[in-house]
Amino acid sequence: MHPALSVIFFTVTSGAGFGLYSLTAVLQLFRLGPSLDRTQLLVALVTSLVLIIAGLLSSTGHLANPKNAWRSFMRVKTSWLSREAVLAVAFFPFAFLYLIGVIFYGAHVPIFFVTMGLIGIIFGFITVFATGMIYACLKTMRQWNTPLVPANYLLMGLTLGALIHMAIEAYFGADLQFISGVAGTALVMTGVMKGIYYFWIDRVSGPTINTATTFTRARVRLLDTGHTAGTFLTEEFGYQISEGLRSVLRTLVFVLGFILPLILVALAAYLAPGAGAFALAVTAVVSSYVGKMIERWLFFAEARHVVNLYHGAQHT
């Protein structure tokens, strides 16, 4: 699949935003970890909303006809893309009500605003799930058609959210023991999950050139594609990366996305709160963000659409 930068930026960034929002709200509402004051909460919530909005705006970048984008709310009954759009919009009223609660009451928000925050968390999670399902529901790409995909989207968002939350706490000189544990656990779980995904998609399964052409009792070879230059199909679905580049990028996903941040998070937890810990936490965020951008790029580049069978691929 041709990797579109706007979609890669959108899924990583708004995923991180939803992760940060959910984590901030959960930690506050259930009184977990060091309690944050009004300013710290506001910084975390506003950052998450900025990330979400920036991501959603970028998602319109890959539309060929954006003037009809408003129509994408029309088919909630059948389309995951439509569901995602509606859920993302439904998230905002609750998120803003919770934000207003924090603005007026600081760390001790009344029960009404707490409820709004909780509903916001639920909508945020389902939105990210819907984003994953946009890909997972397609039977045409076996690398996407697995429940591991929405699980991966949710975990990736949560991990980045935890890291950003930690950087914000570090900036305000809070005690990092609790949040570093959360971030570390999230990093390990997400990394292992990604490993499972790579293990899974490396096995060949699904349609072959034989079922695609109905000739199941003989070898089928492409003689000629019938066109002399590229078409929409070859441009959109014919994208391929070399074995070498793929293994380099997969290694980078683990090193930048999970291993390096894990070390930095652990180091930051041992340091006394201050500029050093903050610098480590920010480096962890940047490293993990870059790793996850590479991960998302690979997610697209590695997916093989079944239409490639008609262009000579023996299996997907």
Partner 1 sequence: MRLGLVIDLDTCVGCHACAVACKQWNTSGTTGPLTDYRPYGEDPSGVWFNRIRHYEVGDYPNSKTINFPMSCMHCEDADCVTVCPTGASYKRKEDGVVLVDQTKCMGCNYCSWACPYGARELDRESGTMKKCTLCIDRIYDESLAEIDRQPACVITCPAHARFFGDFDDADSEVSRLVRERDGMQLMPELGYNPTNRYLPPRINTPIPTDDVRRPSLAGKVKQWVNKAVAR
Site membership for partner 1, residue 46 (CB under 8 A): no
Q: Which of 250, 289, 248, 285 lies closest to 264 in space, CA to CA?
A: 285
Applying CB under 8 A, among 35, 39, 185, 213 the residue interacting with partner 1 is: 213
Residues 147-206 that bind partner 1 (CB under 8 A): none
* Complex with partner 1: residue 99 or 306, whichever CB lies closer: 306
* Complex with partner 1: residue 137 or 271, whichever CB lies closer: 137
Site membership for partner 1, residue 271 (CB under 8 A): no
CA distance 29 to 53: 23
CA distance 252 to 286: 13
What is the DSSP code (8-state) at residue 145? Answer: S
**Counting Cβ atoms within 10 Å, is residue 259 exposed (0-12), middle (13-18) or buried (19+)?**
middle
CA distance 263 to 212: 48
Site membership for partner 1, residue 82 (CB under 8 A): yes
Site membership for partner 1, residue 61 (CB under 8 A): no
Q: Kindly state the smallest distance separating residue 298's Cβ from partner 1, in Å.
A: 17
Stretch that binds partner 1, among 89-97, 229-237, 239-247, 261-269 (CB under 8 A): 229-237
* Complex with partner 1: residue 214 or 243, whichever CB lies closer: 214
Hunting for tokens 């919530």 — which residue is that? 45
Residues 92-131 that bind partner 1 (CB under 8 A): none
Site membership for partner 1, residue 227 (CB under 8 A): yes
Applying CB under 8 A, among 72, 146, 283, 314 the residue interacting with partner 1 is: 72
CA distance 215 to 76: 39
Stretch that binds partner 1, among 39-47, 117-125, 166-174, 207-215 (CB under 8 A): 207-215
CA distance 172 to 40: 7
Contact (CB, 8 A) for 298 and 245: no
Exposure on the CB side of residue 315, measured as CA atoms within 13 A: 11
> For partner 1, how many residues bind (rule: CB under 8 A)?
55
Site membership for partner 1, residue 214 (CB under 8 A): yes
Q: What does the per-residue mask of binding to partner 1 show for 138-157, with x meaning CB under 8 A?
A: xxxx----------------
Contact (CB, 8 A) for 302 and 246: yes
CA distance 286 to 292: 10
Applying CB under 8 A, among 3, 42, 171, 236 the residue interacting with partner 1 is: 236
Binding residues (CB under 8 A) for partner 1: these are 1, 62-69, 71-75, 78-82, 85, 134, 137-141, 207, 211-215, 218-233, 236-237, 305-307, 310-311
